[in-house]
């Protein structure tokens, strides 16, 4: 027991003798003055502006402003409850030479909502008190913006359309790896992904997307970008409702005439393009119940510009009893989509008679009346003749 008390006394004597002796050995007035020339020259965040929840780094540059004296630092740390430190603090001694700058890099996570925050950077000196520096950082959740600046009047099935977009970065920092994805049920986009690259703070980039819809749907635009190393995305939908394209080509048949020779019908006529776009590869053919026959099973009129016209002739046979035959007019737009329209053409007067039976009846009245009058004249003449002879 006595030996334990003796050892404890020895240790306490050593501690009280050594520690105060050491502190007193460095914390001199000269050293305090020298450490007063050490300052934080700048603190750089990456990303410069955080989204809530973003991970990033902060680099604090500490400069020794002394012209001929080094300083020793032995502890560095940054962060608070909003800007949380996720890497280790500096716990080893480091020497910063005269007029030298030493960076201290930390990983942090922005755990707060939007706002401006001042996490404290703390630097411990060997021979003086610590240095504290509020390193300002902003958290801003404003995403990138997509605007439609040019779009077609109408969408039609199978017809390729181009929409003009503007990708804008309203943030105060650059974003990188910006890419736009175009997706949607029943559409074919070409390309499906457009790489834009870096978009500077408050900058905007025009982008054109091209797609071909096959059904009424919504085109989903997904803008992907990195804020620092943190991926983010913004989405936008463009609803697609099919309507009649006011500008599309509109081939119309006119001056249709039917003739028949040895059982083969010849249908001739003109095709006028009443639309505002070119109708390519305009073709005319007869459909069932007609049986197309050489020499003009199908007549290719060719391309018709707006207000242009061309003549056609198709030949076919048909089963008896058919009073009209559907004539198909087809054309292609600039994307190769085929458009078809039908027009019934009367090939015999049977239909006419059915449609105008009363007209037919009335048209027979005159010849019947004439025939009756002739008979009455004949009978009357002979009745008179016989009566006169009898007298």
Q: Please say whether the beta carbons of 105 and 195 come within 8 A.
A: no
Length of the chain: 391
- The distance of closest approach from Cβ of residue 317 to other proteins in the complex, given in angstroms and rounded to an integer, is 6
Cβ-based nearer residue to other proteins, 97 or 380? 380
- The distance of closest approach from Cβ of residue 212 to other proteins in the complex, given in angstroms and rounded to an integer, is 44
Cβ-based nearer residue to other proteins, 55 or 266? 266
Instruction: Give Cβ neighbours of residue 264 (< 8 Å, ≥ 6 apart).
Output: 293, 315, 316, 317
Instruction: Give Cβ neighbours of residue 68 (< 8 Å, ≥ 6 apart).
Output: 98
Cβ-based nearer residue to other proteins, 22 or 358? 358
Cβ-based nearer residue to other proteins, 239 or 320? 320
- The distance of closest approach from Cβ of residue 296 to other proteins in the complex, given in angstroms and rounded to an integer, is 17
Cβ-based nearer residue to other proteins, 18 or 372? 372
Cβ-based nearer residue to other proteins, 332 or 346? 346
Cβ-based nearer residue to other proteins, 116 or 257? 257
- The distance of closest approach from Cβ of residue 314 to other proteins in the complex, given in angstroms and rounded to an integer, is 16
Report the distance separating Cα 243 and Cα 248, nearest Å.
Answer: 11
Within 10 angstroms of residue 113's Cβ, the number of other Cβ atoms is 10
- The distance of closest approach from Cβ of residue 151 to other proteins in the complex, given in angstroms and rounded to an integer, is 52
- The distance of closest approach from Cβ of residue 311 to other proteins in the complex, given in angstroms and rounded to an integer, is 21
- The distance of closest approach from Cβ of residue 187 to other proteins in the complex, given in angstroms and rounded to an integer, is 47
Binding site for other proteins (CB under 8 A): 258-265, 317-321, 323, 347-350, 352-353, 360, 363-364, 367-368, 370-372, 374-375, 378-379, 382, 385-386, 389-390
Cβ-based nearer residue to other proteins, 334 or 359? 359
- The distance of closest approach from Cβ of residue 347 to other proteins in the complex, given in angstroms and rounded to an integer, is 7
Cβ-based nearer residue to other proteins, 43 or 318? 318
Report the distance separating Cα 351 and Cα 266, nearest Å.
Answer: 18
Angle at 137 between CA 136 and CA 139, to 5 degrees: 150
- The distance of closest approach from Cβ of residue 365 to other proteins in the complex, given in angstroms and rounded to an integer, is 8
């Amino acid at each position: 027991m006595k030996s334990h008390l003796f050892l404890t006394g020895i240790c306490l004597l050593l501690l009280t003798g050594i520690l105060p002796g050491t502190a007193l050995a460095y914390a001199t007035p000269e050293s305090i003055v020298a450490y007063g020339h050490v300052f934080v020259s700048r603190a750089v965040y990456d990303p410069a502006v955080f989204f809530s929840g973003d991970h990033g780094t902060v680099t604090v540059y500490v400069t020794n402003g002394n012209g001929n004296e080094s300083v020793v630092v032995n502890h560095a740390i940054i962060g608070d409850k909003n800007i949380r430190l996720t890497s280790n603090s500096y716990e080893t001694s480091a020497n910063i030479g005269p007029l030298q700058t030493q960076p201290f890099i930390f990983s942090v996570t922005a755990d707060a909502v939007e706002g401006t925050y001042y996490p404290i950077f703390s630097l411990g000196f060997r021979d003086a008190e610590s240095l504290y520096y509020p390193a300002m950082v902003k958290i801003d959740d404003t995403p990138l913006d997509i605007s439609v600046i040019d779009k077609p009047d109408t969408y039609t099935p199978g017809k390729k359309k181009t929409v003009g977009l503007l990708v804008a970065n309203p943030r105060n920092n650059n974003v990188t790896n910006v890419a736009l994805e175009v997706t949607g049920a029943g559409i074919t986009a070409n390309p499906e992904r457009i790489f834009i690259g870096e978009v500077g703070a408050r900058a905007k980039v025009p982008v054109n997307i091209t797609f071909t819809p096959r059904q009424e749907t919504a085109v989903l635009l997904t803008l992907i970008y990195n804020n620092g190393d943190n991926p983010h995305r913004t989405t936008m939908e463009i609803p697609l409702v099919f309507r009649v394209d006011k500008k599309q080509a509109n081939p119309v048949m006119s001056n249709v005439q039917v003739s028949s020779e040895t059982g083969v019908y010849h249908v001739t006529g003109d095709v006028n393009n009443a639309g505002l776009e070119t109708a390519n590869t305009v073709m005319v053919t007869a459909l069932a119940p007609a049986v197309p026959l050489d020499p003009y099973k199908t007549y290719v009129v060719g391309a018709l510009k707006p207000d242009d016209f061309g003549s056609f002739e198709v030949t076919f046979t048909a089963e008896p009893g058919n009073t009209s035959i559907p004539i198909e007019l087809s054309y292609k737009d600039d994307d190769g989509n085929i458009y078809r329209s039908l027009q019934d053409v009367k090939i015999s007067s049977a239909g006419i008679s059915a449609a105008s039976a009363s007209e037919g009846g009335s048209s027979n009245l005159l010849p019947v009346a004439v025939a009756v009058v002739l008979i009455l004249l004949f009978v009357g003449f002979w009745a008179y003749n016989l009566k006169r002879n009898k007298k």
